[in-house]
Amino acid sequence: MPRPGTVTSVDAICCPGCGEEEDLSGARTGQPGNEEITVTCGSCALVWERDLTPTCPTCGSDDVRPALRSIVEKSRGTQLSIQSMQVVYLCRTCDAEELAVWNQSNTPLKPAELPVDSD
């Protein structure tokens, strides 16, 4: 179970008071690079500042490094095309192999998932 009030994926957070994950609202304030997000729980009315420090979802370490991961779609038949990039944070311990690939190549990492046929 994730620590209350922490990011478990890009968009998933939970209330540190009651554990609510759905009925949450947020307000962003501040200048870019110095932003804060104030979150309000609709279930218990708790208000808190969301910690924007990226952490490893596996071990909780904040010793992570940003990297880019490609997102691909099928463009024609079986041909895959990069549609966008996603910033991911790689942990030195848990993601050591991927981090080594990123450090050596400095090119986008392979997609986490490939598109599947809808047949």
Please check whether residues 47 and 80 belong to one and the same domain: no
pLDDT attached to residue 119: 53
Task: For residue 21, give its domain range.
Answer: 1-52
Tell me how far apart the alpha carbons of residues 119 and 86 are, in angstroms, rounded to a whole number: 27
> Residues 6 or more apart from 21 whose CB is under 8 A from it?
12, 13, 14, 15
Please check whether residues 37 and 59 belong to one and the same domain: no
Please check whether residues 91 and 70 belong to one and the same domain: yes
pLDDT at 8 over 70: no
Please check whether residues 58 and 115 belong to one and the same domain: yes
Which tops the pLDDT comparison, 78 or 4? 78
**Which residue, 97, 89, 91, is CA-closest to 66?**
89
pLDDT attached to residue 89: 93
pLDDT tens digits, one per residue of 74-114? 877 777 888 889 899 999 999 999 999 999 998 899 888 77
pLDDT tens digits, one per residue of 63-74? 999 999 988 888
